[in-house]
Structure 1
Amino acid sequence: MRILLFTGKGGVGKTTIAAATAARLARDGRKTLVVSTDAAHSLADALDTRLRPDPSEVDSNLFASHVDSRELVDRSWPRLREQARGVLAGLGIDELDAEELTVLPGVDELLALGEVARLAAAGTWDVVIVDCGPTAETLRLLALPEAIARYVDRLFGKRVLREALRTLADHLTELRRVLTDPDVTSVRLVFTPERVVVAETRRTLTALALRGIQVDELIANRLAPKARRWGGPAGAWLRTRRGEQDVVLGQLESSVTAPVRVLEHRAAEPVGSAALLELADELYAEWGPLDGPGGERVPLLDVQRTGDGYLLRIALPLPDDSALNLARVGDELAITVDGLRRLIALPAALRRYEVVDAEASQAGLVLRLRPEVTA
């Protein structure tokens, strides 16, 4: 089974492209589930049908559902909160403090991600397509399993918490495993070729790389149609606009390893299976939704011996204007890029070494390490 996550800045057309991809895969004979975690409920509009939390058949081989995060919270959180309150009370935390501590930020996103995983596992799907929310929401969603798992790991040492947290820890571990397995899950970033949007796309590539999540394709949507034979002001405007977009697109393509698909702007909004399939046939004319070259699979960490030390390469795309900070935290390396932080466990061979030099480029970071000097 493959899981494809579609995201992008709000308004770039990610829902339409996710729906079109699902329709194309279903027509090709693959049993496909397309599920939305976006609170905007746009997937139902694109498919021109009503959707429920449980998958319903939209067309042959095509099923769809909409995850209602608020409904999940209302149904599941009271029980989980009571369990958490019991655990906290066992640690000597009084009733009022326990109530405050169990108001967990991000619980709705975590439950939504868990519901996607449940739906994926519950059916015999060939492909699960997830229409995620806008980029910022998606990054927060994808960061939750690792972030919360770290807190759970720290609490696991307390005997009173072990049984209460074991199920949650196992669930988070499985979510993390699925999200970071490039043979199962990949992200497709949808963007419009404008400088501001492309800048956000580059930052998103960095943020996803920090999480160990692969982006296998970028999709440039709403390019101005080519108007070589058009005269008059309209033709001149279209040629100017397309020229600007081509420049921005060329700059992006030269700085990323993932392939870029392009899709021209359409006069009418694609709604319903027929219109979505027409769009998909244009988008996937060169190679199919699952048949493309895919992004270059580069391991996050690569270690090379050199003289009396090591070179540690971190495959982290860094735009020129990135704010980067590195710090050593015990046996981990803390990397902060534009306010996003991740702790990366150093390979065992490097834990007695210190960073003496670092270089950053669009390809990532190269750290030079040498043995620690002891007094």
Structure 2
Amino acid sequence: MADTPRVVLVTGKGGVGKTTTAAAMAVESARAGRRTLVMSTDVAHSLGDALDVDLRTSASWEQTLPVEELLHAQAVGARTSVAADWATLRDYLLTVLDSIGVDPVVAEELTALPGADEISALLTLGHHATSGDWDVVVVDCAPTAETLRLLALPEVLGWHLDRLLPAQRRLLTAMRPAAARAAGLPMPGGDVLDVITTWREHMADVRALLTSERASVRIVLTPENVVIAEARRILTSLSLHGYAVDAVVVNRVIPVDDDPWRAAWNAAQSAGIDTITTSFHGTPVLVAPYLAGEPTGPEALADLAARTSAIDGELAPLDAPVRVGGLRVEADGEEFVLVLPLPLARSGDVDLARRADDLVVDVGGVRRVIALPSVLRRCIVKNAGVRSGELRVRFVRDEEVWPRGR
């Protein structure tokens, strides 16, 4: 992955300044000599406002807007290069709906692509990762809930398609006329399955990139209790899905002075920052000051980046590999332990369920379906718990399928 760009996804609760932070990081990267793209996946993006450019939603993956030397910007929407492929699937769905008598106007509404924004963003990011055009890609993500849906999509979609497509393709190849007559509905053609298969392959590539040493997430927050609580939850959720957080940025910190009114804010923010450094211990914490004016345009953004500094831990250079701590399996005698990092989680936050060859992990309503490694498919869960920021699930052999001595 030597030619793969360094990817940084920037997220946080709405209104904390994640777009400004992402734009400032991109300006700093470009002015350090890196070919940098900053792209927004937020439907209600304000990236153009932050950069002080007229940024419109791109019609294609390749369409980016030059901002200054080495810096380009892009806004991705539901129709960014997905429309052509989606037309193949949409035409098939319209045929199905027509065959069962659905009004054409209603059918048009029913075939709006679900998750189009997330799919488009991931496919576009995948294109940029392999284009060779960029050294750094900074992604200005939507607020946290949308970001989690975006990052969960490659694995979730892959899980379903891995189980559906092989059987579906074999069935349709052998039984298309009979299946169509039996169902009373038109069967999808090979072109429909080809589009879905292609999307699956792209999603797998993006998932591999985003969980590699070339990608990380940066959480932006302000030193307020409600915002800190949400940032703690997203750290746990990102870890659940295998994504590395390389830093948190505490934004809009009011400079300390003798003004009585600001002194009260200083005290409250100081307490908030203490909570943040404790909560995110082991992850670099950066502080960005509350400036006298809104940082708009490359010069102001470069100034903001220059004033942003680490107060806890040391931020690794962008060129350095990201420390990835994903799921692993450890042998313990004749037993096995599945280990998944879950910082800030407690045992009471986690629900587990075994479903055939999958383990379903739910943390505070955020769910991941983990396809178990082959060795664990022949085992049963003995116990589970969270200790030192890790979920540890202990498995023992299922004697019915894996008797001792074999």
1:126 Cα offset (Å): 0.7
Task: Name the SS of the counterpart of 2:342 in structure 1.
Answer: coil
- Provide the residue aligned with 1:323 in structure 2: 349
Contact 1:258 1:295 in 2 (8 A): no
Structure 1 residues 152 and 367: CA distance shift in structure 2, 3 A? closer
1:218-255 deviation line (CA, Å, top 9, x unaligned): 1111223223xx1x52253144223322332233233x
Contact 1:224 1:241 in 2 (8 A): no
Matches within 5 A, 1:352-363: 352-361=378-387, 363=389
1:163 Cα offset (Å): 3.7
- Provide the residue aligned with 1:187 in structure 2: 217
Structure 1 residues 120 and 351: CA distance shift in structure 2, 3 A? closer
- Provide the residue aligned with 2:285 in structure 1: 260
- Provide the residue aligned with 2:39 in structure 1: 35
Task: Name the SS of the counterpart of 1:4 in structure 2.
Answer: strand
1:50 Cα offset (Å): 0.8
1:49 Cα offset (Å): 1.1
Q: Which has the higher mean CA deviation after the structures are superposed, 41-50 or 76-85?
A: 76-85
Matches within 5 A, 1:207-222: 207-222=237-252
Matches within 5 A, 1:216-231: 216-227=246-257, 230=258
1:281 Cα offset (Å): 1.0
1:276 Cα offset (Å): 0.6
- Provide the residue aligned with 1:282 in structure 2: 307
Q: How many residues align?
A: 365
- Give the alignment partner of residue 250 of structure 1, picking from 248, 262, 277: 277
- Provide the residue aligned with 2:183 in structure 1: none
Consecutive unaligned residues in structure 1, runs of 5 or more: none
- Provide the residue aligned with 1:45 in structure 2: 49
Task: Name the SS of the counterpart of 1:212 in structure 2.
Answer: coil
Matched, 1:19 2:23: yes
- Give the alignment partner of residue 145 of structure 1, picking from 140, 143, 154: 154
Structure 1 residues 361 and 136: CA distance shift in structure 2, 3 A? same
1:168 Cα offset (Å): 2.4
> What is the identity, as a one-letter code, of the residue corresponding to 1:271?
T
Task: Name the SS of the counterpart of 1:263 in structure 2.
Answer: strand
Task: Name the SS of the counterpart of 2:22 in structure 1.
Answer: helix
Structure 1 residues 146 and 354: CA distance shift in structure 2, 3 A? same
Contact 1:259 1:295 in 2 (8 A): no
1:267 Cα offset (Å): 2.0
Structure 1 residues 312 and 152: CA distance shift in structure 2, 3 A? closer
Contact 1:32 1:126 in 2 (8 A): yes
Structure 1 residues 314 and 123: CA distance shift in structure 2, 3 A? closer
1:192-227 deviation line (CA, Å, top 9, x unaligned): 122221221121122222222222111111223223
> What is the identity, as a one-letter code, of the residue corresponding to 1:171?
H
Matches within 5 A, 1:1-375: 1-52=5-56, 53=58, 54-69=63-78, 77-83=86-92, 94=100, 96=102, 102-122=111-131, 124-156=133-165, 157-159=167-169, 160=172, 162-181=193-212, 183-227=213-257, 230=258, 233-254=260-281, 257-283=282-308, 290-291=317-318, 296-306=323-333, 308-320=334-346, 323-361=349-387, 363-372=389-398, 374=400
Q: Percent identity?
A: 41
Structure 1 CA distance for aligned equivalents of residues 79 and 200 of structure 2: 23
Q: Which has the higher mean CA deviation after the structures are superposed, 57-66 or 314-323?
A: 314-323
Structure 1 residues 335 and 184: CA distance shift in structure 2, 3 A? same
Consecutive unaligned residues in structure 2, runs of 5 or more: 173-189, 402-406
1:32-67 deviation line (CA, Å, top 9, x unaligned): 111111122311111111123221211111111212
> What is the identity, as a one-letter code, of the residue corresponding to 1:354?
I
Contact 2:222 2:253 in 1 (8 A): yes
Structure 1 residues 30 and 123: CA distance shift in structure 2, 3 A? same
Structure 1 residues 363 and 82: CA distance shift in structure 2, 3 A? same
Structure 1 residues 122 and 313: CA distance shift in structure 2, 3 A? closer
Contact 1:332 1:343 in 2 (8 A): yes
Structure 1 residues 291 and 140: CA distance shift in structure 2, 3 A? closer
User: TM-score under structure 1 normalisation?
Assistant: 0.86
1:157-202 deviation line (CA, Å, top 9, x unaligned): 1223654533222222222222222x22211111112222122112
